């Protein structure tokens, strides 16, 4: 049975450059699904320091550039997050992707809006410099952390709960969607996947790729689905998706390591 072809796949908060970034798994998730549109919903980078990018991080960017090739017939959209600020011009040239502050589109007769979500985080908006130094401290903790980064990931979860980011972003996003006359709105920023409905408007958060359970969103004929990415099993099965086998290959199964290395060398060079 052929895997579904989604209208849109949404992925956010990969935080390339961070020790906790699960860029390798994010690349696999993109390869294991078929979609017509990809929305990178912000905070794809941890900060502006490209020296922190690992080989796997560059491979992720290489695959994004590959997807953006017109021959692929995949529309790639980058929505700027608070950690991505200052990278708009660089990324447009580096991977051939246009960067937006907010993106909207129509599907199945419904109006969809994608915005990173930091706009609804009052603490972050009002304390930009404090957040900058907090990010540098957090990156240092990641470097000093144990294997698997348990301390860094615990801090990330506690930070989200302490600031009550999920309900704040959800509330602000739902109001924004109502003002924009949207039926569905999608955010990232909180690193916690969730969905909520209010007055007929649906809110979804795509979660992130820095925790032990990375998540992404698909939009298609079956509606909106939040998927958990699972590590491949020993026999080579993908293990991606929720409780159903919902992942297929957007690329030919024969993408060799040589090809990936060539992409990495090209984009990192």
Residues with Cβ < 8 Å from 39, sequence gap 6 or more? 8, 9, 10, 11, 77, 79, 103, 114, 186
Q: Which residue in this structure is represented by tokens 């060799």?
A: 256
Other C-beta atoms within 10 Å of 231: how many?
Answer: 11
Q: What is the pLDDT of residues 17-65, one digit of tens each?
A: 888 899 999 999 999 999 999 999 999 998 778 888 999 999 999 999 9
Residue 84: per-residue pLDDT: 84
Q: What is the pLDDT of residues 77-125, one digit of tens each?
A: 999 998 887 777 777 777 888 899 999 999 999 999 999 999 998 644 4
- Token pair recorded at residue 189: 């920023």
CATH number for 225:
3.60.21.10
Q: Is 228 left (phi over 0), alpha (psi -120 to 50) or beta?
A: beta
Q: What is the pLDDT of residues 60-77, one digit of tens each?
A: 999 999 999 999 999 999
Residues with Cβ < 8 Å from 31, sequence gap 6 or more? 63, 249, 250, 251, 255
* Percentage above 90 pLDDT, the chain: 54
More confident residue, 256 or 107: 107
pTM: 0.76
Q: Which residue in this structure is represented by tokens 């990324």?
A: 91
Domain count, the chain: 1
**Residue count (the chain):** 269
pLDDT-derived band at 165 (thresholds 50, 70, 90) equals: confident
Residues with Cβ < 8 Å from 199, sequence gap 6 or more? 174, 178
Residue 10 to residue 31: CA distance in whole angstroms = 14
> 217 and 21 in contact (C-beta within 8 Å)?
no
Note down the domain range covering 98. 5-268
Residue 140 pLDDT exceeds 60: no
Residue 21 to residue 7: CA distance in whole angstroms = 26
Q: What residues does 216 pair with on adjacent strands?
A: 227
Residue 148: per-residue pLDDT: 62
């Amino acid at each position: 049975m052929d895997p579904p072809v989604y209208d849109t796949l949404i992925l956010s908060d990969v935080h390339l450059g961070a020790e906790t970034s699960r860029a390798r798994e994010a690349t696999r998730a993109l390869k294991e699904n078929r979609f017509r549109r990809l929305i990178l919903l912000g905070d794809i980078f941890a900060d502006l320091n490209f020296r922190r990018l690992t080989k796997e991080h560059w491979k992720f960017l290489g695959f994004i550039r590959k997807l953006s090739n017109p021959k692929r017939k995949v529309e790639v959209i980058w929505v700027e997050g608070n950690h991505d600020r200052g990278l708009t011009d660089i990324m447009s040239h580096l991977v051939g992707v246009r960067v937006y502050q907010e993106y909207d589109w129509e599907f199945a007769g419904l109006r969809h809006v994608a915005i990173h979500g930091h706009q609804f985080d009052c603490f972050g908006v009002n304390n930009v410099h404090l957040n900058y130094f907090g990010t540098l401290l957090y990156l240092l903790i990641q470097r000093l952390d144990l294997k698997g980064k348990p301390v860094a990931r615990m801090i990330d979860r506690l930070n989200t709960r302490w600031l009550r980011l999920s309900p704040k972003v959800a509330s602000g996003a739902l109001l924004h969607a109502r003002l924009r006359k949207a039926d569905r709105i999608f955010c990232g920023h909180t690193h916690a996947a969730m969905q909520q409905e209010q007055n007929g408007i649906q809110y979804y958060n795509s979660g992130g790729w820095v925790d032990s359970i990375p998540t992404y969103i698909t939009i298609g004929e079956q509606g909106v689905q939040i998927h958990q990415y699972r590590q491949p099993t020993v026999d080579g099965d993908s293990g991606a998706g929720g409780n159903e086998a919902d992942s297929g290959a957007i690329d030919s199964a024969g993408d060799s390591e040589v090809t990936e290395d060539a992409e990495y060398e090209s984009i990192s060079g």
